[in-house]
Structure 1
Amino acid sequence: MYTTVIDAGASLVAQYGVFALLVVFALEGALVGKVIPTRTLFVAAVLAIGTTTAGMLSVAAAAVAGATAGQVVLFALVRHTDVASDRFAGEATDESSRVARWFDRWGLSAVALSNTLPVARGTLTVPAAMTDENAVRFSASSMVGSSIYACGLLAVGGGIELLLTIA
């Protein structure tokens, strides 16, 4: 009897953990949660759920879906409001103009590349939204970069679990 209760509790914890990961990555994608240690939470979720194929896929899917959703929401907010254009009109700093030039030169491939880099994730969302770039193409590019990032974090989590089993 207790085994069923323990299994149900573990299942709920695993499900809540993946949902929490989705929310945290959505906040990071929207640039609201950049201070949240998403990499640590991702690896911890892999270790908690285990390196089974289903566990790793659920963690990766939650992270990719969350990050993409957060970036698409930010993209839509910038695109459909004048907040960014009003706030940054005439205030172009060297950093913001460098990011805009990078996007102008490389386009959506820059979005995918920036999403593979831990610190730069999501930095091109606002410049992309301020152009006439297609939202569907932007979200696909965001998803590609986030998928590569998640695969790298899966490798880290799997490596840590392997080291823990050897030790």
Structure 2
Amino acid sequence: MSGFTETALSLIQQYGFLAVFVFAFLESSMLFPFLPSELVVPAAAGLLVRDPVSFALFVLTMTVGTTLGSLFPYFVGHEGHEALDRYGRYLRVSADETDRASRWFRRWGEHSVLWGRFLPVLRSVISIPAGFAEMGFRKFVAYTTVGALLFNVSVTGLVYFGWDDLPHLLSVLP
């Protein structure tokens, strides 16, 4: 485990859901995107999720943090390429990542905000081209919230119900 990941998990263990919210906000805002959700969310869920109430609270905290954090890159993108040039150093995103996300957005449209929340790297970066395209604010928030919710329920569910039960869970699906 990297030093960043160990530090994040230590903070989550110490501060609980507040640390989860801050992590989700910082990652999706791209202000501190050094810890991918693929690593931290399962480990944090393993630390904090013990029952249905903590499951729901964890998912809610992650989803609200992700949604609020995604507004910063969305508004930077909404202000145009000049704003990205001006604030890009705070977002910690490369031109290649932004170009790739823009191509994805042009190809798949506004729905890419929802489904992009499932894909590494694109999960946060997709907010920028959504802003460039002047996607409606309410639609952006709705798609971001639903995509983040689905991602968080999926990952947390796999942790809560256990990887060992995954084949059984898949076999009972219609």
TM-score greater than 0.5 by the shorter chain: yes
Q: What is the distance in 1 between the residues matched to 2:100 and 2:40?
A: 31
CA contact 1:27–1:70 (8 Å) conserved in 2 = yes
After superposition, residues 32-111 of structure 1 pair within 5 angstroms as 32-80=31-79, 82-84=82-84, 96-111=98-113
Percent sequence identity over matched residues? 22
Q: What is the distance in 2 between the residues matched to 1:77 and 1:94?
A: 17
Cα deviation for residue 86 of structure 1 reads 6.7
- Gapped regions of structure 2 (runs ≥ 5): 1-11, 89-94, 166-174
Q: What is the distance in 2 between the residues matched to 1:44 and 1:101?
A: 32
Cα deviation for residue 31 of structure 1 reads 1.6
- Gapped regions of structure 1 (runs ≥ 5): 1-12
Cα deviation for residue 83 of structure 1 reads 1.6
**CA shift in 2, pair 1:102/1:47, >3 Å:** closer
Candidates 144, 147, 153, aligned match of 2:146: 144
Could you say what the CA RMSD is over the residues aligned between the two structures, in angstroms? Answer: 2.9
Match of 2:134 in 1: 132
Q: What is the distance in 1 between the residues matched to 2:31 and 2:64?
A: 16
In structure 2, give the amino acid aligned to 1:79.
H
Which stretch has the larger CA shift, 94-103 or 128-137?
Answer: 94-103
Match of 2:157 in 1: 155
Q: What is the distance in 1 between the residues matched to 2:124 and 2:130?
A: 10
The TM-score, its normalising length taken from structure 1, stands at 0.73
CA contact 1:64–1:143 (8 Å) conserved in 2 = yes
CA contact 2:97–2:125 (8 Å) conserved in 1 = no
Which stretch has the larger CA shift, 71-80 or 16-25?
Answer: 71-80
Q: What is the distance in 2 between the residues matched to 1:87 and 1:162?
A: 44
Aligned residue pairs: how many? 147
The TM-score, its normalising length taken from structure 2, stands at 0.70
CA contact 1:112–1:141 (8 Å) conserved in 2 = yes
CA contact 2:118–2:151 (8 Å) conserved in 1 = yes
1:9-65 per-position Cα deviation (integer Å, ceiling 9, x unaligned): xxxx88931111111111111122321143443233323333311100111111111
Q: What is the distance in 2 between the residues matched to 1:94 and 1:37?
A: 18
CA contact 1:28–1:34 (8 Å) conserved in 2 = yes
In structure 2, give the amino acid aligned to 1:21.
V
